[in-house]
Structure 1
Amino acid sequence: MNKSNRSTATLPRGDFSRGPGKSLTKEQRDEERLERLTLAAFDLFTERGFSHTPIELLCSTANVSTRDFYKLGKNREALMAQVYQRVARFAETCVLQALASAPVDDWDARLDAAIDAWVHAYTHDERYARLSYLDSVGVSDELEQIRSEAHERFAALIRNEFHQRFPENDKVLAGKLPVAIIGACNELVRDWLGTRPRPSPEALTREIKLLYGVIIQGLEA
């Protein structure tokens, strides 16, 4: 990604606003330190790689002392898990907002809107996709559990939306089909990341919609 794009896109921030003149409690100071560390971790992990980002660099970038870092009870693996979870929640929010704005009685439009939002969440800044599908893989058991939970939330969302269109296929949808759809979409993103020259996000969107089209044809058969 070029520098101009990277300067305008970063990890969504948490809400740590406070009223004017109010001092922070210890818990709020710790939350702000963790927020700065999370944002620094996103930038450094995606720029240098997880294994090449020492704790000292994370702390200096976040303006947090190493003493305060260890008092938070964190390590690099925990920060990567924190960053991954933030990205996954952002993608989930994008999809839910798209569905909330889509026509309730137009299933095809809802599917298109959800796919567009999901692809945008990971490709508006390709670091989101790289961190989620490449950099974070195998970092820790904790992160893999968070990844599994994120996949299950998306599987439940797919299951619910498909039930509206195919109520007669409850047994199929109650099985592993939604999980398989997620796995296929994830592999398409990994393939997109590894292809040179990099296809456009629109090309990735078309491939995912083609995948869903094949699945829909199978359910309609």
Structure 2
Amino acid sequence: MTRSKSAARPDAATVRRRIRGLDAEQRSAQRRSQLLDAATELFAEQSYSGTSIEQICQRAYVGTKGFYDHFESKEACYIALLEQITVQIQQRVMAGAAAVEGQEWPQRAHAVIEAFVHAIADDPRLAKVTFGEAGGISTTVDKQRRSNRRWSAAFLDQQWSGTGDRAGIALALATIGGMFELVVDWLHHHDDGGAPDAVATLAEDLNRFVDAVYVGRAAIAAK
């Protein structure tokens, strides 16, 4: 049985749509991923303010037009990257909490903090991108950061078996602020980033701080 030419091989339009086995949508997703990977490297190496769109494109091997197909500005690229990293951190922390579900908070705390520390320090670039420039980029970025803190505070309050009321969330929010400040300070004093002893130092500092807050919270509740 013979096949017609049209059945034997794809038409020219199909060939044009697929390059290296990828269709247009897949190629677009690949370029976006390359741009975000390049931005991660450059923001970690030389900061957000020290990085240009042209440098991101050169590192990603993507043209400037390709950049603007995905992001309207460097700020938009940073926000997309921040959102991506935030989701990764949240997933790691929730998985850490789920692994010790049912235990009392003092026992769960170390597992949750360990998950958070490894989420940002196993690849030290992530901590630098997320916490390295704590503020001053733009009001839009600051709004995103505050949204991340609100999520973290609600999660912490829930782990503390809080009621979700204003006082509980406020205490959790202050605790998260303290934790994030410790991360920023750690970044400025540990250039070795992901080295085991540096990671252990961060985990120890965060555990000590959260334990102290929890003891104070319990003392207030007992009055």
- Contact 2:71-2:77 within 8 A present in 1 as well: no
Aligned equivalent of 2:100, options 88, 99, 102: 102
Post-superposition Cα deviations, 1:64-91, rounded to whole Å, max 9, x if no partner, equal 2112222334211111112222222221
Give the Å deviation of 1:22: 6.6
- Contact 1:80-1:136 within 8 A present in 2 as well: no
The 2-side partners of 1:68 and 1:96 are apart by: 35
- Contact 2:154-2:172 within 8 A present in 1 as well: yes
TM-score, structure 1 as length reference: 0.78
Aligned length: 196
Q: Quick one: which amino acid aligns to residue 141 of structure 2?
A: L
The 2-side partners of 1:195 and 1:67 are apart by: 39
1:186 aligns to what? 180
Give the Å deviation of 1:150: 1.1
1:91 aligns to what? 89
The 1-side partners of 2:87 and 2:145 are apart by: 11
2:23 aligns to what? 24
The 2-side partners of 1:123 and 1:97 are apart by: 17
Give the Å deviation of 1:135: 3.0
Q: Residues 196 and 142 of structure 1: is their aligned pair in 2 closer, same or farther, counting only changes over 3 Å?
A: closer
Give the Å deviation of 1:33: 1.8
Map residues 17-56 of structure 1 onto 2, 5 A cutoff. 23-26=22-25, 28-56=26-54
Aligned equivalent of 1:172, options 167, 170, 177: 167
The 1-side partners of 2:76 and 2:159 are apart by: 33
Map residues 144-163 of structure 1 onto 2, 5 A cutoff. 144-163=142-161
Q: Residues 80 and 219 of structure 1: is their aligned pair in 2 closer, same or farther, counting only changes over 3 Å?
A: same
Q: Quick one: which amino acid aligns to residue 82 of structure 1?
A: A
2:189 aligns to what? 195
The 1-side partners of 2:155 and 2:76 are apart by: 27
Q: Quick one: which amino acid aligns to residue 176 of structure 1?
A: A
1:14 aligns to what? none
2:14 aligns to what? none
The 2-side partners of 1:23 and 1:121 are apart by: 31
- Contact 1:185-1:208 within 8 A present in 2 as well: yes
Give the Å deviation of 1:204: 1.8
Q: Residues 200 and 147 of structure 1: is their aligned pair in 2 closer, same or farther, counting only changes over 3 Å?
A: same
- Contact 1:49-1:135 within 8 A present in 2 as well: yes
- Contact 1:98-1:113 within 8 A present in 2 as well: yes
Q: Quick one: which amino acid aligns to residue 24 of structure 1?
A: D
* Percent identity between the two aligned chains: 27
In structure 2, the residue corresponding to 1:50 is in which secondary structure?
coil
Query: What is the RMSD computed on CA atoms of the aligned residues?
Result: 2.4
In structure 2, list runs of 5 or more residues that go unmatched.
1-19
- Contact 1:56-1:66 within 8 A present in 2 as well: yes
The 2-side partners of 1:75 and 1:22 are apart by: 30
- Contact 2:106-2:211 within 8 A present in 1 as well: no
- Contact 2:89-2:119 within 8 A present in 1 as well: yes
In structure 1, list runs of 5 or more residues that go unmatched.
1-20
Post-superposition Cα deviations, 1:167-210, rounded to whole Å, max 9, x if no partner, equal 6x96631x411110111001111121222686622122122111
Give the Å deviation of 1:31: 2.7
Q: Quick one: which amino acid aligns to residue 156 of structure 2?
A: I
The range that moved more, 205-214 or 110-119, is 205-214
The 2-side partners of 1:216 and 1:136 are apart by: 25
